[in-house]
Amino acid sequence: MSASIIDGKAFAAGLRERIGVLASAFEAAAGRKAGLAVVLVGEDPASQVYVRNKGKQTIACGMESFEHKLPAETSEADLLALVETLNADPAVDGILVQLPLPAHMNEQKVIATINPDKDVDGFHVVNVGRLATGLPGFVPCTPLGCVMLLKDQLGSLSGLDAVVIGRSNIVGKPMAQLLIAESCTVTVAHSRTRDLPDVVRRADIVVAAVGRPEMVKGEWIKPGATVIDVGINRVAGAQEGKSRLVGDVDFASASTVAGAITPVPGGVGPMTIAVLLRNTIVAAHRNAGIALDESAI
Ligand SMILES: NC(=O)C1=CN([C@@H]2O[C@H](COP(=O)(O)OP(=O)(O)OC[C@H]3O[C@@H](n4cnc5c(N)ncnc54)[C@H](OP(=O)(O)O)[C@@H]3O)[C@@H](O)[C@H]2O)C=CC1
Ligand SMILES: Nc1nc(=O)c2c([nH]1)NC[C@@H]1CN(c3ccc(C(=O)N[C@@H](CCC(=O)O)C(=O)O)cc3)C=[N+]21
């Protein structure tokens, strides 16, 4: 049996199209474009690529992109001051501070400074609390993108057994919260989990967010299960000096057992950026007091 491939790239393109329509309606109603500010500290090449892609897609959707690139040696106080300026700027609806930050900065302190109603990453404790209690807020982009793909693939997730591998604040934990909200029976596995293959074998839905290239093997997967691979790992390619991207799932073996699986690249990654734009257009409507049917996006 061969799994169907979940085309995150195509789904993300459709999502951006719907956002584009909402963005032009917003501009007509508000007399200004919705705006996203992205802050990058330092010169990490992968982060630079992501930030550039975010900026391009923001503009392509008819929103305004404000990019702030700061040198790696910027003081924490200067970064906090920039965040405060963006909080106060009425042209800015969403703020994203690219992580990880340089070691001399306290990430929690920086995130805590972002106005929760502009926190389109959903990382502020207020939004974490809102998600945990079922209040409207902002949900982290990567896990929300995963749930959109799952619901598109499976319809209702109610009653399904889900295993999330990874318990980070940005992927694993919010992913578990969203699956609980969809009435899945959720297990969260991590580096101390005993017999991970056995835990994964129970799952109708497997979400891998580990950061270990091709760790999850096909023999671990229950036949017909849906596999969402969040991992983005750059490894040495076949050709000298070239690298390639692989996920946390061994795609070759898992795709012979799973019912459906996301590829890397072209799966969850493109969804992350599209959901960021979704959260930004939602923030713009809320901040401007303009009604929007958020469940329809
Ligand atoms: N597609 C996208 O848009 C995004 C992709 N990513 C990718 O997703 C992956 C995870 O990211 P992130 O959550 O930030 O990573 P973290 O490093 O913050 O978390 C990794 C988690 O995996 C667990 N883990 C590590 N080794 C094992 C193991 N051998 N067995 C079981 N669990 C293990 C850790 O457990 P413990 O807590 O015990 O240490 C931890 O909870 C990365 O590849 C990252 O690049 C991340 C964000 C967005
Ligand atoms: N504050 C903050 N918010 C984030 O959401 C955030 C962050 N910091 N730091 C880094 C991680 C990682 N991340 C990705 C976004 C897009 C792709 C993506 O588009 N991936 C493409 C491939 C891109 C390539 O070729 O390199 C794909 O999977 O098809 C991947 C990973 C967002 N993150």
Q: Which atom of ligand 2 is nearest to the CA of 140?
A: 5
Topology, domain 141-270: Rossmann fold (3.40.50)
Report whether residue 191 contacts ligand 1, using a CB cutoff of 6 Å: yes
Report whether residue 140 contacts ligand 1, using a CB cutoff of 6 Å: no
Return the H-helix or E-strand segment holding 225: none
Does residue 98 carry a catalytic annotation? yes
Give the pLDDT score at 1.
61
Q: Which atom of ligand 2 is nearest to the CA of 96?
A: 1
Could you check whether 31-115 and 141-270 share the same CATH topology?
Answer: yes
Q: Which atom of ligand 2 is nearest to the CA of 49?
A: 26
Contact status, residue 231 vs residue 210, Cβ threshold 8 Å:
yes
Nearest alpha carbon, ligand 1 atom 45: 232
Ligand 1 centre from 27 Cα, in Å? 38
Ligand 1 centre from 212 Cα, in Å? 7
| Annotated active-site residue in 93, 119, 121, 204 | 121
103 by Cβ neighbours in 10 Å (0-12 / 13-18 / 19+) ranks as exposed
The pLDDT tens digits for 257-290 are 999 999 999 999 999 999 999 999 999 999 999 9
Closest ligand to the CA of 13: 2
| Residues in CB range of 269: below 8 A, 6 or more apart | 8, 232
Nearest alpha carbon, ligand 1 atom 19: 168
| Annotated active-site residue in 57, 93, 98, 229 | 98
Report ipTM for this prediction: 0.98
Q: Which stretches of 71-212 are assigned E, i.e. beta strand? A: 94-97, 161-165, 185-189, 205-208
> pTM score, two decimals?
0.98
Does residue 54 carry a catalytic annotation? yes
Report whether residue 80 contacts ligand 1, using a CB cutoff of 6 Å: no
Any idea which architecture 31-115 has in CATH?
A: 3-Layer(aba) Sandwich (3.40)
Report whether residue 262 contacts ligand 1, using a CB cutoff of 6 Å: no
Nearest alpha carbon, ligand 2 atom 22: 265
The pLDDT tens digits for 44-60 are 888 898 899 999 999 99
HEC secondary structure over 145-185: HHHHHHHHHHCCCCCCEEEEECCCCCCHHHHHHHHHHCCCE
Task: For residue 265, say if its preceding peptide bond is cis, omega within 30 degrees of 0.
Answer: yes
Give the domain ranges of the chain: 31-115, 141-270
Look-up of token digits 């800015």: 92
The binding-site residues of ligand 2, defined as CB within 6 angstroms of any ligand atom, are 49-50, 96-99, 121, 141, 232, 245, 264-266, 269-270, 272-273
Q: Which residues are annotated as a binding site for NADP(+)?
A: 166-168, 232
Does residue 121 carry a catalytic annotation? yes
Low-confidence ranges of the chain (pLDDT < 50): none
Could you give the strand order of the β-sheet that contains 94-97, starting from the edge strand earlier in sequence?
64-70, 35-41, 94-97
Nearest residue to 19 (alpha-carbon basis) of 58, 55, 50, 67: 58
Ligand 2 centre from 269 Cα, in Å? 6
Q: Which residues are annotated as a binding site?
A: 166-168, 232
